[in-house]
């Protein structure tokens, strides 16, 4: 085994070790590791930091670092396991909404970096024969992420924005929430959608045809109005043009 | 502008764009995107961290496209972990390739460092031991990246807070040899040379005098802080300050030695308003002009 490999393993081991190390250099690199990870995580989950406070968030980041260290040279990826990590810690407690809020923040992050795509043009439906509507497949815009929660996560997210009125209260019984991300010229928006619309997006995400989606939806909500739901989702820019037509 | 020397294996040589900006540039931070587009300050160029624009799409990437149309662009990587003994991340390299293809940066750089082993990343710029083994490894990796991207990259010296007893070469010998063996250029971070000279006790001018002059193709300037760590005073490369007088002096020495090469102000922690960076870049222009005249 090369000595370079040995040296690198010992070095990284020493940085991840939590017991005191007398060497000044190691302390500086450890501090870089902890602070760099904490700051990157705080950029991705600002609402979680606001909800639990900076000190506790710093502790969370430290234990999360050991459970899920960065696996890439691009720090932007570290947050992916964070919602589930929080679920493991807070499920069944009075803070059970935290993982769902984290999921919403991660969806927001992912939506902000997703690929650009052309929006669905309704006029392209004109050339489809009515008897083949059931065969249509609609593709979701790459920036369309979906999060649902038993808690009012959008309200929690909104009152914890930097410019929000800090006196606003949240009634945790105001859920459930079905939230979808969309991207506009200015950035990402979080949109609350109806339960049926949310389920329709899930059908499309599973690549179901319109016919399959309709029968799924009719089982869940017998009064579901497919045409109205489609128009809403297209107007919101959740559907792309690519590969939609049979 | 000189053309890079042919690597020792003789396979490829990499030339450098003909007209590099003489005026100092500034490091690009997302906080300044819209101010830069609106105010269009007279800085020579901008340098973006490659990894910040790996996204497939979205607002940040569009900002970079708009800024690219106004300013010459340099892409500066912080995450390739070139010195690591792990296999080079093909995903990372491909993302970099896409970015380079789209933005055609005038300069492209990475670090004389490593940040990961066994797949675990510290996302920091860790120093290598300066041994023959590390030199061969680093040179092979730099060559591989240059061949993959079809162009020369610049390698930047990093600040460090410890030295390895294993080292058989000095940092400057290592860097000079790396440039010689791989055909890479050198991104000379003047602040990092100064920080290391204070932390490890050497003459920073010896460092600069040992570098192959034609290989130095870019310089970085930044601020640092002093911190008491245990019983030692250490300089920490924080990029959250004005450039200090000692580093300005060393920059003057570097300009007299290497001539005027594209110089960048890096300020990426406690980020000030754009105007502060622009003023710092103008200060660099003044110092460079003065020292260039003195040298001539």
Is A72 an interface residue toward B (CB < 8 Å)? yes
In chain A the first and final C-alpha atoms are separated, in Å, by 57
> What is the distance in angstroms between the Cα of B50 and the nearest Cα belonging to chain A?
9
Is residue A108 included in any domain, yes or no? Answer: no
**DSSP secondary structure string for all residues of B25-79:** EEE--GGGHHHHHHH----S-EEEEGGGG-SSSSHHHHHHHHHHTTS-EEEE-S-
**For each of chain A's 246 residues, which pLDDT tens digit applies?**
469 999 999 999 999 999 988 888 999 999 999 999 999 999 999 999 999 999 999 999 999 999 999 999 999 999 999 999 999 999 999 999 999 999 999 999 999 999 999 999 888 888 888 888 899 999 999 999 999 999 999 999 999 999 887 677 889 999 899 999 999 988 999 999 999 999 999 999 999 999 999 999 999 988 999 999 999 999 999 999 755 555
Q: Are B51 and B93 in contact (CB under 8 A)?
A: no
> CB distance B58–A116 less than 8 Å?
yes
Q: B193, B188, B122, B200: which is closest to B155 by C-alpha?
A: B188
d(CA B67, CA B77): 18
d(CA B78, CA B52): 10
CATH number assigned to the domain comprising residue A136: 3.90.930
Is residue A132 included in any domain, yes or no? Answer: yes
Same domain membership, residue A92 and residue A39 = yes
Same domain membership, residue A211 and residue A123 = yes
Is residue A219 included in any domain, yes or no? Answer: yes
Same domain membership, residue A121 and residue A88 = no
Separation in Å, CA B91 to CA B82, B88, B186, B211: 14, 9, 25, 33
Is B234 an interface residue toward A (CB < 8 Å)? yes
Strands A146-149 and A177-184: antiparallel
Same domain membership, residue A74 and residue A150 = no
Is residue A236 included in any domain, yes or no? Answer: yes
Give the one of B121, B126, B234 whose C-beta lies nearest to A69's C-beta: B121
Burial A109-148 (b: 16+ CB within 10 A, else e): bbbbbbeebeebeeeeeeeeeeeeeeebebbbbbbbbbbb
B105-149 confidence digits (pLDDT tens): 999 999 999 999 999 999 999 999 999 999 999 999 999 999 999
Is A142 an interface residue toward B (CB < 8 Å)? yes
Same domain membership, residue A145 and residue A67 = no
The rounded Cα A92 to chain-centroid distance in angstroms is 21
Is A11 an interface residue toward B (CB < 8 Å)? yes
The residues, any chain, with a CB within 8 Å of residue A72's CB and separated by 6 or more, are: B79, B89, B91, B92, B121
> What is the distance in angstroms between the Cα of B224 and the nearest Cα belonging to chain A?
14
> What is the distance in angstroms between the Cα of A193 and the nearest Cα belonging to chain B?
23
Q: Structure tokens of A122?
A: 């309704």
Set of chain A residues whose Cβ sits within 8 Å of the Cβ of B237: none
> What letter does residue B115 receive in the DSSP assignment?
E
> What is the distance in angstroms between the Cα of B8 and the nearest Cα belonging to chain A?
24
Contacts 24+ apart (CB under 8 A), B194-200: B194/B224, B194/B235, B194/B246, B194/B247, B194/B250, B195/B159, B195/B224, B195/B235, B195/B236, B195/B237, B196/B157, B196/B159, B196/B160, B196/B171, B198/B235, B199/B159, B199/B160, B199/B161, B199/B234, B199/B235, B200/B160, B200/B163
> What is the distance in angstroms between the Cα of A19 and the nearest Cα belonging to chain B?
15
Same domain membership, residue A21 and residue A69 = yes
How deeply is A168 buried, as exposed, middle or buried, from its count of CB atoms within 10 A (0-12, 13-18, 19+)?
exposed
The last residue of one of the domains, among A96, A128, A158, is A96
B65 preceded by a cis bond (ω within 30 of 0): no
Set of chain B residues whose Cβ sits within 8 Å of the Cβ of A143: 57-58
Number of domains in chain A: 2
Q: Are B262 and B20 in contact (CB under 8 A)?
A: yes
Is residue A70 included in any domain, yes or no? Answer: yes
Same domain membership, residue A245 and residue A133 = yes
By C-alpha distance, the chain B residue nearest A1 is: B85
Same domain membership, residue A122 and residue A89 = no
- How many inter-chain contacts (A to B, CB under 8 Å) are there? 128
> What is the distance in angstroms between the Cα of A11 and the nearest Cα belonging to chain B?
9
Kindly indicate the confidence band of residue B14, based on its pLDDT and cuts at 50, 70 and 90.
very low
d(CA B254, CA B193): 11
Same domain membership, residue A90 and residue A12 = yes
pLDDT over 50 (residue B11): no
Give the one of A28, A73, A186 whose C-beta lies nearest to B121's C-beta: A73
Residue B224, CB-side half-sphere exposure with 13 Å CA sphere? 27
Same domain membership, residue A36 and residue A155 = no
**The domain defined by B25-295 carries CATH number 3.20.20.150:** yes
pLDDT over 70 (residue B183): yes
Is A43 an interface residue toward B (CB < 8 Å)? no
Q: Best residue in B122, B128, B141, B201 to probe A by mutation, most A CBs within 10 Å?
A: B122
Same domain membership, residue A167 and residue A78 = no
Is A69 an interface residue toward B (CB < 8 Å)? yes
pTM over cut 0.90: yes
The residues, any chain, with a CB within 8 Å of residue A206's CB and separated by 6 or more, are: none
Is B57 an interface residue toward A (CB < 8 Å)? yes
Q: Are A207 and A244 in contact (CB under 8 A)?
A: no
Residues 66-85 of B with CB under 8 A from A: 78-81, 84-85
pLDDT reported for residue B12: 43
Domain that residue A151 falls in: 114-246
By C-alpha distance, the chain B residue nearest A68 is: B120
d(CA B140, CA B132): 12
> CB distance A183–B81 less than 8 Å?
no
Is residue A106 included in any domain, yes or no? Answer: no
**SS3 state of residue B243:** coil
The residues, any chain, with a CB within 8 Å of residue B287's CB and separated by 6 or more, are: B248, B251, B252, B255
> CB distance B60–A112 less than 8 Å?
yes
Is residue A109 included in any domain, yes or no? Answer: no
């Amino acid at each position: 085994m090369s000595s370079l490999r040995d040296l690198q393993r010992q070095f990284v081991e020493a940085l991840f070790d939590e017991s005191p190390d007398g060497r000044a250099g190691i302390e500086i690199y450890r501090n870089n590791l902890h602070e760099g990870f904490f700051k990157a995580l705080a950029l991705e989950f600002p609402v979680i930091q606001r909800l639990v406070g900076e000190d506790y968030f710093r502790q969370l980041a430290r234990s999360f670092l050991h459970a899920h260290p960065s696996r890439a040279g691009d720090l932007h990826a570290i947050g992916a396991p964070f919602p589930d990590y929080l679920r493991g810690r807070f499920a069944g407690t009075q803070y059970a909404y935290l993982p769902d809020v984290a999921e919403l923040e991660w969806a927001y992050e992912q939506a902000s970096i997703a690929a650009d795509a052309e929006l669905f043009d309704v006029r392209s439906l004109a050339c489809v024969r009515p008897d083949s509507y059931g065969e249509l497949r609609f593709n979701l815009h790459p920036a369309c992420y979906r999060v649902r929660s038993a808690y009012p996560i959008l309200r929690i997210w909104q009152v914890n924005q930097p410019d929000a009125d800090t006196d606003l209260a949240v009634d945790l019984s105001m859920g459930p929430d079905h939230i979808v991300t969309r991207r506009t010229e200015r950035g990402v928006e979080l949109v609350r959608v109806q339960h049926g619309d949310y389920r329709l997006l899930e059908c499309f995400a599973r690549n179901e045809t319109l016919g399959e989606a309709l029968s799924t939806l009719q089982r869940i909500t017998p009064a579901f109005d497919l045409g109205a739901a489609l128009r809403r989702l297209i107007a919101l820019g959740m559907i792309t043009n690519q590969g939609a037509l049979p | 502008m000189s053309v890079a020397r042919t690597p020792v294996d003789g396979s490829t040589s990499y030339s450098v764009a003909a007209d590099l900006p003489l005026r100092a540039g500034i490091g690009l931070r997302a906080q300044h995107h819209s101010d830069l587009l609106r105010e269009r300050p007279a800085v020579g160029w901008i340098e973006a961290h490659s990894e910040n624009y790996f996204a497939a799409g979205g607002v940040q990437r569009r900002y970079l496209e708009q800024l690219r149309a106004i300013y010459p662009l340099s892409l500066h990587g912080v995450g390739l972990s070139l010195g690591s003994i792990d296999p080079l991340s093909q995903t990372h390299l491909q993302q970099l390739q896409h970015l380079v293809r789209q933005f055609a940066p005038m300069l492209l750089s990475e670090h004389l460092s490593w940040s990961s082993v066994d797949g675990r990343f510290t996302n920091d710029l860790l120093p290598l031991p300066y041994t023959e083994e590390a030199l061969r490894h680093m040179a092979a990796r730099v060559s591989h990246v240059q061949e993959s991207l079809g162009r020369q990259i610049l390698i930047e010296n990093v600040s460090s807070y410890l030295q390895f007893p294993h080292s058989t070469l000095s940092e400057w010998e290592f860097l000079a040899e790396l440039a010689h063996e791989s055909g890479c250029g050198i991104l000379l971070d003047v602040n990092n040379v100064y920080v290391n000279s204070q932390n490890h006790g050497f003459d920073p001018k010896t460092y600069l005098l040992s570098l192959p002059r034609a290989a130095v193709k870019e310089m970085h300037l930044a601020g640092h802080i002093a911190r008491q760590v245990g019983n030692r005073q250490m300089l920490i490369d924080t990029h959250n300050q004005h450039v200090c007088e000692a580093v300005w002096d060393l920059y003057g020495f570097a300009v007299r030695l290497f001539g005027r090469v594209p110089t960048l102000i890096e300020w990426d922690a406690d980020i000030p308003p754009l105007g502060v960076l622009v003023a710092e870049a103008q200060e660099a222009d003044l110092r460079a002009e003065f020292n260039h005249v003195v040298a001539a």
